[in-house]
Amino acid sequence: MPEPERPQRPGGGPGSRSGGAHRAVNPKTPKSEQVTEAKNVPENENTTGRTPFGSAVAQGAQMTHPGPGVMPGLEPPTAADPVDGAAASGATVSPGAVPAGRTPGAGHPAVPAVLGGAVLQPQLDAFLAAHEDELIAFRRDLHAHPELGYAEHRTTAKIAERLRAAGLDPVILPKGTGLFCDIGPADGTTVALRADIDALPLQDEKQGVPYRSTVQGVAHACGHDVHTTMVLGAGLFLAQQAEAGLLPGRVRLLFQPAEETPGGALDVMAAGGIAGVDRAFALHCDPRIEVGQLGLRTGPITAACDKVYVKVTGPGGHTARPHLTADLVYALAKIVTELPSALSRRVDPRSSLSLVWGRVSAGSVANAIPDDGIAEGTVRCLDDEAWHRAPEMMKALLQSVAAAYDVEASLEYVRGVPPTVNEAASVQMFRDAAAQVMDEEGVVPTPQSLGGEDFGWYLESIPGALARLGVRTPGSPGEYDLHRGDFDVDERCIAVGLRVLSATALTALWEGGRPGDTESIKGAALA
């Protein structure tokens, strides 16, 4: 498909980057007034006074450097822009203010001025003005040199080198790829920002881009190069905040290997990568969402996928005398047909637990009953509870069907990844962060995917959330999808993701990242 039009790099010069690039707010407005205003604003009402141009214009307000090649309608508003002038009049929700429907919880630290978008945005603008070109070059370098799971040695070295150059002290994981790096004081809350660093065994089919994969049969077709760059960038920004004494806790950057394999998350956990971490956040590229938008969902956002292997054994014999043997092929056929339907009657249909066979095999000739047979399949599931119960349920059902036909049956159940179940409070933190660094139109609902994501392993142990980051150029033709050879992103998503991750980490640190510290949050249902 045609490549989406990209802004040329560099952009229109330093002056064009920050001018009007952040949301118009009146920094002189006292904090208390901002909060009071926000409380009175209905959550879904468009109070910006802007003509509803849709998300493209909303994005334009935060893109840092639409250059000469920018898409029409994405130019940032100028200081004299009457549209933003209306927003600056105070009729909008102030960035950093407590969103409607929420009240600051008793016992929580007051949200400091530094967290307000009015302060954070200019800091992010300044950081991006200095580092966005470098970050895009970093992403392009990773994209051109993709590495498969557990082979990410060059990628690991590049990340570690950049972190060390910033005075940080990354820790390489025991298998030699992947790393984590702590920023800020150890006492208090710790929040993790997770990126995955591996690529896919796919041929890069993109044409006409200078950063096309140079490795035959390997490509960053799932956006992990972008995830890595965004977490690195957020880490460098937060390290600056820490140096200035503005980081109210610790942020752990997690650069996880082998997400696609999968297994990397388990390695990170085995190496103590989430020890002491109170909450974890991650962004994943979503080519169905436009750049400048963030897709949120409370509850399960990805699905589980496990593999099952059934082996059936019994005394074989002549097909003339099945009563003197165990009729193994008949028994196997019963198992293959009974198990999926029995399972579906044992769990809540909303969990969408489904067992589907991909291979069944037994016997070699027409007139001999074999003495063994196998069936292999996958179990997919949208619900965490059903996923936990699935192996035991399946084992019990298998044994009861096998017993009825007098054959022996064994089950090997191989866990893939659990569903990623987003915690409501963590999703609300994403939402609060987005309110500081994005326009209100920037947050969109996103459906649960049937794909797997090993971030779910972390959320089995600690609360957190994964959000979907829009990477599609508005108005670009054609269908995009992950895991395709022509997958690419609108690189402006890197700045958006960096802003969202930085603001989310700060929000989580200030709002109290420890499970149980956070009040139940109203309005945190399905985004």
What does the binding site for Zn ion look like in residue numbers (CB under 5 A)? 222
- Angstrom distance (rounded) from CA 277 to CA 323: 61
Rounded to a whole number of angstroms, the minimum distance from the CB of residue 115 to Zn ion is 30
Cα separation, 281 vs 459, in Å, equals 10
Dihedral pair phi/psi, residue 205, rounded to 5° = -105, 10
**443-445/250-256 β-pairing:** unpaired
Residues 318, 137: Cα–Cα separation, whole Å = 70
Which residues are bridge partners to 379 per DSSP? Answer: 306, 355
Smallest distance from Zn ion to CB 222, Å: 3
Nearer to Zn ion, 23 or 380 (CB): 380
- Shortest gap between Cβ of 125 and Zn ion (angstroms)? 29
Residue (56 or 222) nearer to Zn ion, CB: 222
CA 138 to chain CA centroid, nearest Å: 20
Minimum CB distance to Zn ion, residue 496 (Å):
18
Nearer to Zn ion, 222 or 254 (CB): 222
Please tell me the distance from the alpha carbon of residue 232 to that of residue 213, in angstroms, as a whole number: 21
Please answer whether residues 69 and 9 qualify as being in contact, where contact means their C-beta atoms are separated by less than 8 angstroms.
no
Q: How far is the CB of 417 from Zn ion (least distance, A)?
A: 11
Q: How far apart are CA 168 and CA 183, in angstroms?
A: 7
386: closest CA among 279, 306, 466, 455? 306
Least distance (Å) between residue 198 CB and Zn ion? 9
Select 307 or 395, whichever has its Cβ closest to Zn ion.
307
Q: What is the closest distance, in whole angstroms, from the C-beta atom of residue 221 to Zn ion in the complex? A: 7
DSSP 8-state secondary structure symbol assigned to residue 113: G
For residue 210 the two structure tokens come to 């200078």
458 in Cβ contact with 39 (< 8 Å): no
The nearest distance, CB 284 to Zn ion, in angstroms, is 6
Q: Which is nearer to Zn ion, 295 or 512 (CB)?
A: 295
With respect to Zn ion, which residue has the nearer C-beta, 222 or 409? 222
Q: Which CB atom, from 222 or from 421, has the smaller least distance to Zn ion?
A: 222
CB 226 within 8 A of CB 493: yes
Judged by beta carbon, residue 17 or residue 297, the one nearer Zn ion is: 297
Closest-by-Cβ residue to Zn ion is 222
* CB nearer to Zn ion: pick between 124 and 202: 202
DSSP string, 194-238: EEE---BSS-----S-TT---STT-B--SSHHHHHHHHHHHHHHH
> What does 402-432 look like in DSSP terms, one character per residue?
HHHTT-EEEEEEEEEE---EE-HHHHHHHHH
At closest approach, how far in Å is the CB of 261 from Zn ion?
10
Residues 6+ apart with CB under 8 A from 449: 301, 302, 303
Alpha-carbon dihedral of residues 480, 484, 489, 494, nearest 10 degrees? 130
SS3 at position 384: helix
Residue 475 C-beta-side C-alpha neighbours within 13 Å: 12
Measured from the CB atom, the residue of 200 and 505 that comes closer to Zn ion is 200
